Amino acid sequence: MSVHLNKKTKWRVILIVLMMVLFISCIVATTLGTARVKIGDSLGIVLHQVPIIGKFVELDDVSKNHQAIVKNIRLPRIILSVLVGVSLSVSGTTFQGLFKNPMADPFVIGISSGAALGATLAIVFKLNTTIPFFNTISFFAFLGAAGATFLVYNLAKIKSKIPVTTLLLSGIAVGQFLTAIMSFLMVIFSHDLHKIIFWTLGSFATKGWAEVRLLLLPAAIGWSLLYYFAKDLNIMLLGEESAQHLGIKVERTKGIILLINSFVVAIVVAVSGIIGFVGLIIPHIARLYVGPDHRILIPVAGLTGGIFMLFVDTIARTIISPMEVPVGIITALFGGPFFIYLLRKKKSTL
Amino acid sequence: MPIAVELENIIFGYDKERILNDISIDIQSQKFTTIIGPNGSGKSTLLKVISSLISPDNGIVRLDGIDIKNMSQLDIARKVAVVPQENNIEYRFTVQDIVMMGRYPHLGRFQTESIRDYKLVGNALEMTNTIHLKDRYINELSGGEKQRVIIARALAQQPKIILLDEPTSYLDIQHQVEILELLENLNKEEGLTVIAILHDINLAARFSNNMILLKDGTVIGEGNPREVITLENLKNAYEIDMIISKNPYSNSPYVIPLSRMGKGKIIKEEKIHVICGGGTGTDLIQRLTANGYKVTTGVLNIGDSDWKFSQIYDIETIEEAPFTDISDNSYSSNISAIERSGIVILTSIPVGSGNLKNLEAVHYALNAEKRVIFLDQYVNQVKYDYTTGDGEKLIMNIRNNCRENYKSIQELLLNL
C-alpha cells in the first residue's frame, strides 16, 4: 500500500515542481529583451492581468512603456510559446505511445507537409481571406494540415481498421508527395522563397493575444481529452491484442486520439509554423525520468515541453536582438546535444 | 456439467481460404481443456474467436450461455483473460504496474486503484510465484518470469475462463512444467476454466481433462486424452507415424513420433534382413527404411518392441508367439528370409535360451558366405547373456568371423 501512496505523492511533487519552474521561467522571460524590465515590475505586470489578484497589485511605479512591452508583446508571445510547447509534447507523447514507435512525432502523419503546402499556396498566390482569428497564411496552413491528415487516415484505413504500419507509411508517402509540390512551387516562385522558408522554420515573432485566444481553448480541451486516455495508452503499449483482451476498444481509441491530435497540431502549426524536434524529443526526455506510465508521462512531457519551448524562444528573440532567429532552428540546435547528453548519461537505465 | 464456452457452427476465413470449417464444440466449465493440432490447423484462430478478437463469418459463440455479440468488450474482459504466445513488452513498467493493468476492466476511468485492487494484484503475484519481482521492470525479466507475470495479470482480471496460446512454447522444460502445474492448481483449487493451445502433445495429455484435436479447421477428435490420443487420430492429423505408449509416471498417453521419411519409397535394390529384438533394432530399421532399403525382420516374438515397430512400419516379419522359444518352423522361415536378402544385419540383442536360434541363423548366414554385418554395441550393455554361456560363445564366434563389425549406426550406414 505504501508503494502506491508513495508513487502518487511522488507524481504530485514532480508536477508541482515543474509548474513552479514554468511559472518562474515565464516571469524571468518577460524581463529579458532589448528593454530590461526589473523582475519585480514584471511580476507586478503579470499579476495585474490576473482577475481578483490583479486588484491588489499597484503598478504606479512601473513605466507605461515597460507595461506595454510586457503586457502586449512579451506576455502573449510567452504564453503562446508555452501553449505550443505543451501541445507538441503531449501530442508527440501520445503518438509515440499509440504507434509504439519512438520515431513518431506530431508531424508523423503528414500534418507538417500539409500545413507547409497550404502556407506556401497562400504566400505564392497572395491569397486573402477574412476569417476571424486566423490570418490568411495560418488559415491555409490549417486547411493543408487537416486535409493531409484526412487523406493519410483514409489511405491507411483497411476495412474500418487502421493498422499502425500502414498509417506511418501513408503518412510518409503523402508527406513526401506534398513536400515535393511545395518544393516545386518554391522553385517556380523563387521571389517568395525567403518568406516560405521562414514560415516553415517556425517562429513566434509578431504573434500576440489573437493567436493565444485561437489556440488556448482547443489546446486545453485536446490535452484533457488525451489525458483521459492515459490508462488506455498504457495498456496499448502491451500490444493491441492484449489491450483488446483487457476490454479496450482499440480501433475506436486509436481513431479518437488521431483526431484530437490532428486538430490540435493543425492549429499549432497554423499559428507557429513547423517547429520540429520538440514533439519528438521532449517525450523521450520525460520518459527517461518518469517512465512510460502515461498518467504521469503526459503532464510531465507537456510541462517540460512548455518550459523548453519558452527557453528556446527566449533565446531566439534575444540572441542576436533586435534580429530574430526562427525558433525551429534553436530547438534542434540546443535540444539535440542536450538530448544526446541525457541519453549517454542514462544509458545504463534505458 | 456446466458449459463455459459453446461454439456453434463457427466458420471463419480470410478471402477464399477457410480457416475454421463449421466448428461446433462445448468446452466444459472448470476443466482443463487443451487444443492440439498441427500448424495451420486453426488453433489460434479458434482461440481468437472465443476471446472475440475476431468475429466469425458464421456461427455463435456463447460464454456461460450468453451470446458474445450481446457482450461489450469490457463484459468479455471481466469473464475471459488471455495469455498470448509472445509477450514482448519493451517498456519499463514494473511488474506490479503490469499486473495492475489486469484490473482495468473492473475500474472506472478516473477511479484510482483501491486497497482491494492492490490485494488482488498481490494475490495474483503470490499465486504465480512472482511476488518477489513486483518492483522489477518487466523488460528486464527472463522469458519464464515474464510469462508468469502475464499469467498473474490474467488472474488479476478475476476471469472465469483463462485462454492461453502456447504459453510454454518459448520456455525450457522446467518452466514449461512449472507453468502447466500452476494452471493445473488454479484449475483445481480456484475452479478456473483453463483452455490452452499446447504444442507438446505429451504435456497436453498429462495435464488436461479434455482435449480437442484440430486439423484443417475441423475438429477431428474430442474427449479425454485417451479418447483423443489414438494412432488413427494422430496419423490423420499430423500425417506421421507415432508410437503411443504410457507415461510411466502420470499414466497418461505418451506419444513418440517416428521418422517421417520412414515409409519413403524403396529406391535401393538390396534387401536387408535385420535380426533384432528388445528394441535394439528400431533406430536402425528407421534409418534403413529412410535410406530406401527394403527391410525384413525376424524372428521376433509378438509383442516385442521391435515387433510392434515392424508392424507400424509395415515391415515383413517372421514372428513367433509371445514369450515362446523360437520354433523350428520360424527358424526355417528366418533362414529363407536370409536366403532372399543381400545383407544380414545382427543387432546387439539380449540373448536368452528363447532366441538363441537367431544367433544360429546368423552363423548359417556366415557359413553361406552371405554379407553379414554385426552392429556390435554389446560393450554398452552390462549383461546381455541370459543363457549359461552358450549365447556369449556364439556372439564371440560371430565377432571373430564377421568381417564387418560396426560400433554405431552411423558407421554402419556409411559402409553400407
Is A37 within a domain? no
Q: Does residue A247 form part of some domain?
A: yes
Strands (E), B226-267: 242-246, 253-257
What pLDDT shows up at residue A350? 44
CATH number at residue A188: 1.10.3470.10
Across the interface, which of B73, B87, B92 has its CB nearest the CB of A248?
B73
Q: Taking residues A149-176, what's their average pLDDT?
A: 87
Whether the pLDDT of residue A135 is over 80: the answer is: no
- How much of chain A, in percent, has pLDDT values that exceed 90? 40
Is the pLDDT at B261 greater than 70, yes or no? no
* Residue A59 belongs to some domain of the structure: no
Q: Would you state the cell numbers that stand for residue A58, as one nine-digit string?
A: 499597484
Q: Note whether A109 and A91 are within 8 A (CB).
A: no
Q: Supply the pLDDT for residue B236.
A: 86
C-alpha cell at B267: 529406391
Taking CA atoms, A155 is separated from A158, A163, A169, B14, B310, in Å, by 8, 11, 10, 21, 62
A38-42, B67-71, B85-89: the lowest-pLDDT one: B85-89
Helix (H) or strand (E) holding B271: strand B271-275
Does residue A65 belong to any structural domain of this protein?
no
In a 13 Å sphere around the CA of A169, the CA atoms on its Cβ side amount to 8
Q: Residue A142 pLDDT > 80, yes or no?
A: yes
Q: pLDDT digits over B116-139, tens only?
A: 999 999 999 998 889 999 999 998
Inter-chain residue contact A239 with B104, CB threshold 8 Å: no
Chain B: give the shortest CA distance to residue A249, in Å: 7
Give the model's pLDDT for residue B191: 92
B212 torsion bin: left (phi>0), alpha (psi -120 to 50), beta (else):
beta
pLDDT tens, B309-363? 888 778 899 999 998 899 999 999 999 999 999 999 999 898 888 888 999 999 9
Lowest average pLDDT, out of A116-120, B30-34, B159-163, goes to A116-120
B80: distance to nearest CA of chain A, Å? 8
A97-117, pLDDT tens digit by residue? 998 888 888 888 888 889 889
Tell me what the pLDDT averaged over chain A comes to: 87
What cell was used for B27?
Answer: 468446452
Rg (CA), chain B: 28
Q: Three-state DSSP class for B368?
A: coil
DSSP per residue, A181-238: HHHHHHHHTGGGHHHHHHHHH---TT--HHHHHHHHHHHHHHHHHHHHTHHHHHHHTT
Q: How far is A308 from chain B (nearest CA, A)?
A: 25
Residue A186 included in any domain = yes
| Chain B contact set for A247 (CB, 8 A) | 72-74, 76-78, 104-105
pLDDT above 70 covers a percentage of chain B that reads 97
* Residue A30, amino acid: T
Summarised one tens digit per residue, pLDDT across range B165-213 is 998 877 788 888 888 999 999 999 989 999 999 988 999 999 999 999 9
The C-alpha of A203 sits at a distance from chain B's nearest C-alpha, in angstroms, of 35
Q: How far is CA B398 from the centre of its chain?
A: 40
Helices (H) and strands (E) in chain B, counts: 15, 18
Q: pLDDT value at position A1?
A: 46
Q: Return d(Cα A236, Cα A292) in angstroms, integer.
A: 12
Inter-axis angle of helices A294-318 and A2-31, nearest 10: 10
What value does the mean pLDDT take over residues B384-404? 86
CA angle B221–B226–B231, rounded 5-degree value: 65
Mutate to test the interface with A, among B101, B116, B137 (most CBs of A within 10 A): B101
Which pLDDT belongs to residue A3? Answer: 54
Q: Contact at 8 Å (CB) between A310 and A25?
A: yes
**Grid cell locating A212:** 493565444
Q: What is the number of alpha carbons within 13 Å of residue B187 lying toward its C-beta? A: 23
Q: How many inter-chain contacts (A to B, CB under 8 Å) are there?
A: 62
The conformation of residue B20, written as its DSSP 8-state character, comes to: E
Cis previous bond, A76, omega within 30: no
pLDDT at B415 over 50: yes
Q: A348: pLDDT confidence band, cut at 50, 70 and 90? A: very low
Residue A174 located in a structural domain: yes
Half-sphere exposure of A346 (CA within 13 A, CB side): 15
How many domains, chain A?
Answer: 1
Whether the pLDDT of residue A190 is over 90: the answer is: no
With a CB cutoff of 8 Å and minimum separation 6, the contacts of B54 are B12, B45, B48
Q: What are the counts of helices (DSSP H) followed by strands (DSSP E) for chain A? A: 15, 0
Q: What percent of chain B has pLDDT over 90?
A: 53
Task: Tell me what pLDDT residue B390 has.
Answer: 85
Give the SS3 label for residue B142.
Answer: coil
Residue B218: is its pLDDT beyond 80? yes
**Apex CA A85: angle with CA A79 and CA A88, to 5°?**
135
* The C-alpha cell that represents A81 in the structure block: 510559446
User: ∠B252-B253-B255 over CA atoms, to 5°?
Assistant: 140
Residue to substitute from A236, A237, A241, A245, interface B, most B β-carbons within 10 A: A245
For B115, the closest of A1, A242, A245 (CB atoms) is: A1
Chain A residue nearest residue B134, CA to CA:
A3
pLDDT at residue number A197 = 87
Instruction: Give the pLDDT mean for A182-210.
Output: 87
Cβ separation of B112 and A8 shorter than 8 Å?
yes
> Quick one: pLDDT at residue B173?
85
Which of the 8 DSSP states describes residue A284?
H
For the beta carbon of residue A164, count every other beta carbon within 10 angstroms: 15
Q: How far out from the chain centre does Cα B50 lie? A: 25
**Under a CB-based contact definition with an 8 Å cutoff, are residues B35 and B197 in contact?**
yes
Using left for φ > 0, alpha for ψ between -120 and 50, and beta otherwise, residue B60 falls in: beta
Residues of A with CB under 8 A from a CB of B: 1, 3-4, 8, 228, 231, 234-235, 237-239, 241-242, 244-249, 291-293
Q: Cα angle vertex A281, ends A277, A285, to 5°?
A: 155
User: What's the pLDDT tens digit per position in A311-323?
Assistant: 999 999 898 877 8
* Closest C-alpha among A262, A284, A281, A234 to residue A162: A262
Angstroms from B92 CA to nearest CA on chain A: 6
The 10s digit of each residue's pLDDT in A217-254 is 999 999 999 999 999 999 999 888 999 999 999 989 99
Alpha carbon distance A299, B186 (integer Å) = 40
Domain contains A16: no
Look at the block and give the residue holding cell 494412432. B231
- Spatial distance between the Cα atoms of B319 and A55, rounded to a whole number of angstroms: 113
Confidence of residue B299 (pLDDT cuts 50, 70, 90): very high
* Residues B178, B127 contacting (CB under 8 angstroms): no
| pLDDT confidence of residue A127 | 80
Crossing angle of helices A75-99 and A278-290, in 10° steps, is: 70
Please give the residue range of the domain that contains residue A159.
79-348
Confidence of residue B255 (pLDDT cuts 50, 70, 90): confident
- Contacts of residue B98, defined as CB under 8 A and 6 or more positions apart, other chains included, come to A238, B89, B138, B149, B150, B153
What ipTM does the predicted assembly reach? Answer: 0.83
Q: Nearest to residue B186, comparing CAs of B211, B151, B212, B134?
A: B151
Report the alpha-carbon distance of residue B90 to residue A2 in Å, rounded: 27
Strand partners of residue B26: B6
Report field, pTM of the whole predicted structure over 0.90 = no
First-to-last alpha carbon distance for chain A, in angstroms, is 27
Cβ of A292 within 8 Å of Cβ of B92? The answer is: yes
Predicted pLDDT at A263:
87
Read off the pLDDT of each residue in B60-80 and give the average, rounded to a whole number.
Answer: 93
Residue A19 domain flag: no
